[in-house]
Structure 1
């Protein structure tokens, strides 16, 4: 009786499975096919992205070599092409290097390129690097408010603060605002985390800047 009972149970299971397969088999096959296609498509896309990134890396290295060899015009064109037609991670970096090359001969255009990176890059380090470089250029070819707009957000703290303060100090010095220039350079000298070269430059500039004029004592009010 036990064997017959088990056989009946097996028959019932088979009948149920047949019924389920007849009803849902097509959907299960379609789902399995979609999973296989999805995994294959994702792997194909990942391979394509890796290949594109490798190609962009090779082009970037070739452009950097042109810059190292002093072929600035060719390097500029190569970096510009990478910035237009490359995976996202290389675009801002290439635009930054393009601006470096442009700055050698055309500072206003370089300032615009730096500002594009500062306003559009998704990488905070690249944005901040572009801001600092733009601030230095703005000292020469921009207005004091341009320098403040670019540098002040970085001067409050962080790895770029000393360089941002240097740009602000140079801008103030150029505008003959000795008090503000001294304030920025003194902050750099007092910053133990500031790069040594930046502190030395600030120290030298403080040595040639006129001393701040002493504050005049308040005039005594006349007594009645």
Structure 2
């Protein structure tokens, strides 16, 4: 038994010596890990709370859009942008509300919400779509140079034809027939392999615009 007591004492002494050397480090690491875990849980809770509150406001935008109430849609989307800009609901709310504003003839409000989405939407695809819609609004306002500026950046493949078609519309409105023809041709090239009915129908529309310009094809 004495031998075991001596061994235990030796082990205890070794442990105490190790703890004297590394105890503070171990305690610090453990504390940092605990703080990180609590922080992560808190962040997840905060994100969930933000998302839940934002979803309620987005539902309000949807309801206002369905009932054709532009003011309510604009106000709910404005709150989304102001308080929950880091959520996908803010992106979607701005796009949906802008459509309601445009349909109601309030191009100023539509342009403001699309401008925010074009610059600050979290999803790059939604930023591209917002730029496309903003350019269309600017075309309606006859702000041709501003509209073209929104279409300068090369879009993803999914929107290439739409960008080219709208660029053609803007250039045609400016009387730049040759440039408009080039834009429509670019849109048609993007639609060359289109097989879906809606894409084929769009291709026919673009071709009709190109034919309408006359001259060399």
TM-score for the superposition, normalised by structure 2? 0.80
Deviation readout 1:135-175 (Å, 9 max, x if unpaired): 112222143322322113236x6111111111111112212
After TM superposition, the structure 1 stretch with the greater mean CA deviation from structure 2, 16-25 or 185-194, is 16-25
- Unpaired segments of 5 or more residues in structure 1? 215-224
Pick closer, same or farther for the CA change 1:14–1:136 going to 2, 3 Å: same
Unaligned runs of 5+ in 2: none
Matches for 1:3-18 after TM superposition, within 5 Å? 5-18=3-16
The reply to whether residue 59 of structure 1 matches residue 62 of structure 2 is: no
Q: Return closer, same or farther for 1:60/1:193 CA change in 2, 3 Å cut-off.
A: farther
Aligned-pair distance for 1:43? 1.3
Root-mean-square deviation (Å): 2.9
How far the C-alpha of 1:6 sits from its partner, in A, is 4.6
The answer to whether the Cα contact below 8 Å between 1:52 and 1:87 also exists between their aligned partners in 2 is no
The 1:193/1:122 distance shift into structure 2, 3 A limit, reads farther
Distance 2:22 2:3 in 1: 28
C-alpha distance in structure 1 between counterparts of 2:101 and 2:145, whole Å: 23
Distance 1:27 1:176 in 2: 74
TM-score by length of structure 1 reads: 0.78
Q: What is the CA-CA distance between 1:7 and the residue it aligns to? A: 3.6
Is 6-15 or 77-86 further displaced after alignment? 6-15
Aligned to 1:218: none
Higher relative contact order at CA 8 Å, sep ≥6: structure 1 or structure 2?
A: 2
Give SS of 1:160's match.
helix
Q: Once the 2 structures are TM-superposed, how far is the Cα of residue 116 of structure 1 from its aligned partner? A: 2.7
Indicate how the Cα distance of structure 1 residues 71 and 108 shifts in structure 2: closer, same or farther if over 3 A, else same.
closer
Contact 1:114-1:130 within 8 A present in 2 as well: yes
- Alignment correspondent of 1:217: none
Residue number in structure 2 paired with 1:93: 92
Deviation at 1:50, TM superposition (A): 1.1
Post-superposition offset of 1:55: 2.2
Shift of residue 60, structure 1, vs aligned partner: 0.8
| Distance in 2 between residues matched to 1:170 and 1:47, nearest whole Å | 48
Aligned to 1:165: 164
- Counterpart contact for 1:139–1:147, Cα < 8 Å: yes
Cα distance change of structure 1 residues 204 and 22 upon mapping to structure 2, 3 Å threshold: closer
Indicate which of 38, 41, 46 corresponds to 1:40: 38
* Structure exhibiting the larger radius of gyration computed from Cα positions: 1
Matched, 1:50 2:53: no
Query: Does the CA contact (< 8 Å) of 1:185 and 1:202 recur in 2?
Result: yes
C-alpha contact (below 8 Å) 1:170/1:181 kept by paired residues: yes
